[in-house]
Amino acid sequence: MKMFTFRSIRTQIMVSTTLLILGLIGAIVTVWVKSEDTLYRQEKLNDAKSISNILSYTYSNELSEENWSQIRLNIDLILRENEDFVYVFVSDNRQDNQIAAASPNEHQNQYIPDIVPLNITKNALKSSEKARISETFILKDIYFADKLRIKRGEPIIEVASDIRTLAGKKLGVLRIGMSLQKVDRAVANAVNQALTVGSVGLAVGWLCAYILARQLSDPVQRLQSSVAQIAGGDLQHRADIDNRTDEIGALATSFNEMSATLQISFSKLQKTLDSFERFVPDKFVSVIAPQGIENIEVGMASTQKMTILFCDIRGYTSMSEAMAPMEIFTFLNDYLACMGKAIDDAGGFIDKYIGDAIMALFDDDSTDCAVKAAILMLEALDKFNYERCLQHEQSPTETRLPHISVGIGIHRGTVVMGTVGFTSRIDSTVIGDAVNIASRIEGLTKQYNCNILITEAVVNSLYNPELLSLRLVDESVKVKGKDQAISIYEVLI
């Protein structure tokens, strides 16, 4: 498996130092915790075994004489004075190991207590000269003197000792359950102490490693940053390595000379790209040339489902005949800028200008943006006409400018976006039956005296048709070149 590597010298030094210190801390914590855990467990176990042996010897006479009241008082006192003790049971071997004395006393007269697993009870009742030690957990909450002594699931150690006569006859079994809470707290304290010491060591080691790494890596990182800035387009940037005279300084000088040459070349290239983007929309390029415009070739195409919008000025021919060529040129630029902004604001892009006509495309899943663009275009046109009228009022000697009205047709369907032409002359285009239908729908706006006409395909693709005011203009109209009739709707404003 390939090892994961770090590019930065500083990172390598820092990571290596950190891993080394963390390894040492981990080893220290492990050994420390294991040692503390063993020490505290052994201490608690010795205490329990000592108390168990003493009590077993003490209760021998009491159990022989069946002095149960005295035994019960004693084990209650033991539980009160030792907070680590969870329970104390004394079972009578003569009564089939029935618990004759218990604290807490609700377990008295039971044969198998329900606070520890069955196998623990079986192990405790076995006959043996030695104490039986079992580590287990509590099966339910235990209360003593109306206070919670231990919660369900917490670990305990049980020590069981036989109660025998001087002659060695087994009379019963003494069982003591001891909580490991203090052991866990002691282990936790040990962990905290180890982590504190380790953290101090890590901080000191990390600081020393950082100082060393910085001395070695700073010049290289600054040069790397300069490379990244130039790669990101900042061709005016120059590397500064504190006037170093070593190999890094020489590398920085060569780098700056290279970046100056690149700046001149890329400046010319950027101007060319900026000009190209004005002729071919960026969204169009991303579809037909996803790998970059430098890879564009004739015949590259992609099938897309899009919404097509056509907009045309009514009476443009007669209007243009009354204007000088330069006036027409100026008027068209002002008009197209006004309408183009509305299309951009709605999320569409202009595919081409056909004289005064505009063909725009919308690649969203719905057609709401296209309809929104048409509404914005009419609003922009009203403002355009108002400004032209205001301009005439301020200069009454000028020829009265005609009022501009347009027709907009919108259709949705599958089109082919691609490049056509030959080796030395390529053009982008959108071809498809949907384009022809959109153009024909725009032509019908004059016939039906509507500003905006949309097809049924557009209506069916709207996400929020309730936000629009639509009127069915013709439910069965045949456009030129199509045998199948379609429904058209007017968008009321």
Residue 288: the pLDDT is 67
Contact 142, 104 (CB under 8 A): yes
pLDDT higher than 60, residue 398: no
Dihedral angle over CA of 341, 344, 346, 347, nearest 10: 180
Q: Convert the pLDDT of each residue in 167-186 to its tens digit.
A: 778 888 888 888 887 777 77
Residue 264: the pLDDT is 74
Choose the weakest-confidence range: 37-46, 81-90, 427-436, 476-485.
Answer: 37-46
Residue 3: the pLDDT is 44
Report residue 73's pLDDT band, with 50, 70 and 90 as the boundaries. Answer: confident
pLDDT higher than 60, residue 4: no
The span from the CA of 481 to the CA of 83, in Å, is 98
Higher pLDDT, 211 or 340: 340
- Span 405-411, average pLDDT: 94
The span from the CA of 231 to the CA of 227, in Å, is 6
pLDDT higher than 60, residue 316: yes
* Residue 416 Ramachandran class (φ > 0 left, ψ -120 to 50 alpha, else beta): beta
Q: Convert the pLDDT of each residue in 225-284 to its tens digit.
A: 777 777 776 666 776 766 666 666 677 777 777 777 777 777 776 666 665 555 666 666
Report residue 103's pLDDT band, with 50, 70 and 90 as the boundaries. Answer: confident
The span from the CA of 237 to the CA of 226, in Å, is 7
Higher pLDDT, 15 or 158: 158
Tokens 């001891």 appear where?
A: 178
pLDDT higher than 90, residue 10: no
Residue 243: the pLDDT is 63
The CA-CA-CA angle for residues 114, 120, 126, to 5°, reads 120
Contacts of 110 (CB under 8 A, 6+ apart): 98, 99, 102
Give the closest residue to 173 by CA, choosing from 253, 105, 249, 112.
112
Contacts of 282 (CB under 8 A, 6+ apart): 349
Residue 293: the pLDDT is 65
CA atoms within 13 A on the CB side of 487: 10
Name the percent of the chain lying above pLDDT 70. Answer: 86
- Span 202-217, average pLDDT: 73
Contact 358, 349 (CB under 8 A): no
Give the closest residue to 398 by CA, choosing from 406, 409, 407, 388.
388
Q: Are strands 406-422 and 452-455 parallel, antiparallel or unpaired?
A: parallel
Residue 360: the pLDDT is 93
Q: Convert the pLDDT of each residue in 113-155 to its tens digit.
A: 888 898 888 888 888 878 888 888 898 888 888 888 888 988 8
- Span 280-298, average pLDDT: 67
Estimate the share of the chain in helix, then strand, then coil, as percent rounded to the nearest 5. Answer: 50, 25, 25
Higher pLDDT, 392 or 39: 39
- Span 412-438, average pLDDT: 85
Report residue 391's pLDDT band, with 50, 70 and 90 as the boundaries. Answer: confident
**Helix or strand run (H / E) with residue 186:** helix 181-231
Contacts of 134 (CB under 8 A, 6+ apart): 120, 123, 124, 157, 158, 160
First-to-last alpha carbon distance for the chain, in angstroms, is 67
- Span 442-449, average pLDDT: 92
Q: What is the pTM of this model?
A: 0.49
Residue 270: the pLDDT is 65
Report residue 22's pLDDT band, with 50, 70 and 90 as the boundaries. Answer: confident
Residue 198: the pLDDT is 74
Tokens of residue 353, six digits: 């200008």
> 137 - beta bridge partners?
155
Looking at every residue in the chain, the average pLDDT score rounds to: 81
Tokens of residue 472, six digits: 């069915």
Report residue 6's pLDDT band, with 50, 70 and 90 as the boundaries. Answer: low
Contacts of 253 (CB under 8 A, 6+ apart): none
Residue type, 267: S
Q: Convert the pLDDT of each residue in 335-372 to its tens digit.
A: 999 899 999 999 898 888 888 899 999 987 878 999 99
The span from the CA of 369 to the CA of 7, in Å, is 47
Contacts of 486 (CB under 8 A, 6+ apart): 437, 455, 456, 457, 476, 477, 478, 479
pLDDT higher than 60, residue 1: no
Name the percent of the chain lying above pLDDT 90. Answer: 18
